[in-house]
């Protein structure tokens, strides 16, 4: 993550490592090869060898020892690799001929998967196809992924979009969504696949729409994908991710970071908590601009993160992410205090007002600052309306001040901001009233339950006491009868 005072550099895309040795993944040298391979020049052998390693999706650490091998070994590896590739192409052509026996094949070709996805399969057939495709995308070389991606990526996104647009989703639909996400993850697990994913405008929006805290396993995969894209993607990838999350949230009438914070609240899914915290750190630490980092962090905190953080049950993995979050927050606070001449303690009310007043005093900004304060005095003193006015004003100030381009707005464009906020304020007021009514309804419901429980307990206690009274009355009556019998007996005994 970002270091204080330094411009964040995007790391190079590293191919994933695997504990299996490099030799096990590369074609074994063969003792026989044709005459044509012997005529290849040293430069051609090296070029083909590099392409072979790239196609095997090896990272630089694993390429280094292979580059040190002698030319003869490289030649044998290249010949074996080219022969295997040629055989694969030949088998694909044969299967695409008159007799197509793909059901009996262990693995389908990339074009056969494209054909299956294009045929309109659904439910269990789609699930089985996607599971097989996930394995193929994971185990085949990059050239296979490349060949599939020309049409296959679009088909995967189309299937995902259709499932998301269904009004009533069955269990199989959710399972297929999860499989589609796993296929997309396997597809982008190399440089080519990542570039294709980022090149399709639908991909980020569909990933953002698929975030669902109720489906913990799928959401864990999605937030991991978004975290990786945010860290190793192109320069403007943060804007695209935020835009996708904003559009997805607007469709559900939620705050854009609400699903991430909700996923962090799920104490039963620790991996989801770690993944959500990773995404939060990736989003908050990505901007080079201090103001925008603070803006994003505050948006998360306002969305409920501030309340959740003290309640999170820490684990080793989660503790690392929380440490990163707090360290970057402290670094930004220090950087901000340096910008404001080490007056960090004066950032709270009422010190911040005096600070602003001193900053604009005896400057051309003073009259505008005074005008802003005077206009704020004109806000109606209404229980519902006043907070909504301040909420809208705060949002407007944020958008005006925090420019993502790093440049100032065009001050000469217009003297007046011609925007009618009446409808917006009314909507905010209505929403605030609804929220307050809902909160009161919850409180009244809670009080009703308490009163109802207390009444039941009182009735039960009263019934017990009535039974006790009856029992005591019965005992008294028995004692009185015994006393009367005793008196009668004594009286009879005293008669002559």
Three-class DSSP labels, 295-349: HHHHHHHHHHHHHHHHHCCCCHHHHHHHHHHHHHHHHHHHHHHHHCCCCHHHHCC
User: pLDDT confidence of 494, banded at 50, 70, 90?
Assistant: low
**Domain final residue, candidates 339, 354, 389:** 339
Q: Which domain holds residue 251?
A: 200-339
Q: What pLDDT is recorded for position 104?
A: 34
Amino acid 111: pLDDT: 87
206 & 334 share domain: yes
CA distance 188 to 193: 4
Q: Is residue 27 part of a domain?
A: yes
Residue 55 falls inside a structural domain: yes
Half-sphere exposure of 259 (CA within 13 A, CB side): 26
Q: Which of the pair, 33 or 219, is modelled with greater confidence? A: 219
Claim to verify: residue 373 and residue 383 sit in the same structural domain: no
Q: Any idea what the CATH number is for the domain that residue 276 is in?
A: 1.25.10.10
DSSP 22-47: HHHHSPPP-S---HHHHT--HHHHHH
Q: What is the mean pLDDT of residues 325-344?
A: 78
In angstroms, rounded to a whole number, what is the distance separating the alpha carbons of residues 163 and 245? 18
Q: Are residues 329 and 355 in the same domain?
A: no
User: Which residues, in sequence order, are CB contacts of 264 under 8 Å at separation 6+?
Assistant: 272, 273, 276, 277, 280, 305, 308, 312
Same domain, 252 and 331: yes
Q: What is the pLDDT of residues 265-319, one digit of tens each?
A: 888 888 999 999 999 999 999 888 888 899 999 999 888 888 888 888 778 888 9
The reply to whether 118 falls in a domain is: no
Residue 288 lies in a domain: yes
Q: What are the angstrom distances between the C-alpha of 10 and each of 98, 152, 288?
A: 50, 28, 11
What is the pTM assigned to this prediction? 0.57
d(CA 267, CA 87): 51
Q: Do both 204 and 289 map to the same domain?
A: yes
Residue 315 sits in the same domain as residue 368: no
Are 247 and 298 in a shared domain? Answer: yes
Q: Which residue stretches of 188-257 are H helix?
A: 191-199, 201-209, 216-232, 237-251
Q: Is the pLDDT of residue 342 over 80?
A: no
Q: What is the total count of domains within the chain?
A: 4
User: Would residue 83 count as lying in a domain?
Assistant: yes
The helix-helix angle for 171-187 and 201-209 (nearest 10°) equals: 140
Q: Does residue 137 lie within any of the structural domains? A: no
In a domain? residue 131: no
Q: At what angle do helices 142-165 and 110-118 cross, to 10 degrees?
A: 10
- Indicate whether 232 and 307 sit together in one domain: yes
Query: In terms of domains, do 393 and 437 share one?
Result: yes
Question: Hey, which of 109-113, 212-216, 234-238 has the most confident mean pLDDT?
Answer: 212-216
My answer on whether 391 and 372 are in the same domain is: no
Average pLDDT, rounded, for the chain: 78
Do both 311 and 323 map to the same domain?
A: yes
The answer to the question of residue 229 being in a domain is yes
Instruction: Report d(CA 96, CA 112) in Å as an integer.
Output: 8
pLDDT tens digits, 169-212: 888 999 999 999 999 999 988 888 888 888 888 899 999 999 99
d(CA 493, CA 487): 10
Q: Is the pLDDT of residue 38 over 70?
A: no
pLDDT of the residue at 413: 42
Residue that finishes a domain, picked among 90, 119, 148: 90
Residue 330 shares a structural domain with residue 429: no
Distance of CA 24 to the CA centre of its chain: 36
């Amino acid at each position: 993550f970002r270091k204080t005072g330094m411009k964040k550099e995007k790391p190079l895309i590293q191919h994933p490592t695997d504990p299996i040795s490099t030799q096990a993944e590369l074609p074994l040298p063969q003792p026989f090869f044709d005459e044509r391979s012997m005529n290849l020049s040293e430069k051609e052998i090296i070029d083909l060898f590099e392409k072979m390693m790239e196609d095997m999706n090896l990272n630089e650490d694993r390429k280094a020892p292979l580059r040190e091998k002698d030319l003869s070994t490289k030649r044998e590896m290249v010949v074996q690799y080219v022969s295997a590739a040629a055989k694969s192409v030949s088998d694909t052509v044969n299967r695409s001929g008159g007799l197509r026996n793909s059901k009996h094949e262990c693995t389908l070709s990339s074009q056969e998967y494209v054909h299956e996805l294009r045929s309109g399969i659904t439910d269990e057939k789609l699930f089985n196809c996607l599971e097989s495709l996930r394995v193929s995308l994971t185990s085949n070389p990059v050239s296979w992924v490349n060949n599939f991606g020309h049409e296959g990526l679009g088909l995967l996104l189309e299937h995902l979009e259709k499932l998301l647009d269904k009004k009533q989703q069955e269990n199989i639909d959710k399972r297929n969504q999860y499989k589609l996400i796993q296929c997309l993850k396997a597809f982008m697990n190399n440089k080519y696949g990542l570039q294709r994913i980022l090149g399709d405008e639908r991909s980020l929006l569909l990933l953002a729409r698929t975030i669902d805290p109720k489906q913990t396993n799928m959401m864990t995969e999605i937030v991991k994908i978004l975290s990786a894209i945010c860290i190793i993607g192109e320069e403007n990838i943060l804007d695209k991710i935020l835009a996708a999350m904003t559009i997805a949230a607007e469709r559900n009438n939620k705050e854009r970071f609400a699903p991430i914070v909700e996923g962090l609240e799920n104490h039963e899914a620790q991996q989801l908590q770690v993944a959500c915290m990773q995404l939060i750190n990736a989003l908050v630490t990505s901007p080079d601009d201090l103001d925008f980092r603070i803006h994003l962090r505050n948006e998360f905190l306002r969305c409920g993160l501030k309340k959740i953080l003290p309640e999170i049950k820490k684990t080793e993995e989660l503790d690392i992410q929380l440490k990163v979050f707090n360290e970057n927050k402290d670094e930004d606070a220090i950087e901000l205090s340096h910008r404001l001449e080490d007056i960090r303690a004066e950032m709270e009310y009422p010190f911040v007002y005096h600070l602003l007043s001193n900053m604009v005093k005896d400057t051309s900004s003073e009259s505008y600052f005074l005008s802003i304060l005077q206009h704020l005095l004109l806000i109606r003193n209404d229980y519902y309306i006043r907070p909504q006015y301040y909420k809208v004003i705060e949002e407007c100030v944020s958008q005006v001040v925090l420019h993502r381009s790093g440049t100032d707005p065009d001050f000469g464009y217009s003297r007046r901001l011609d925007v009618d906020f009446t409808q917006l304020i009314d909507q905010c007021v209505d929403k605030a009233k609804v929220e307050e009514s809902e909160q009161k309804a919850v409180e009244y419901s809670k009080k009703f339950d308490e009163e109802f429980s207390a009444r039941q307990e009182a009735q039960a206690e009263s019934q017990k006491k009535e039974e006790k009274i009856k029992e005591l009355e019965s005992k008294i009556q028995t004692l009185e009868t015994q006393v009367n019998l005793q008196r009668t007996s004594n009286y009879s005994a005293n008669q002559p």
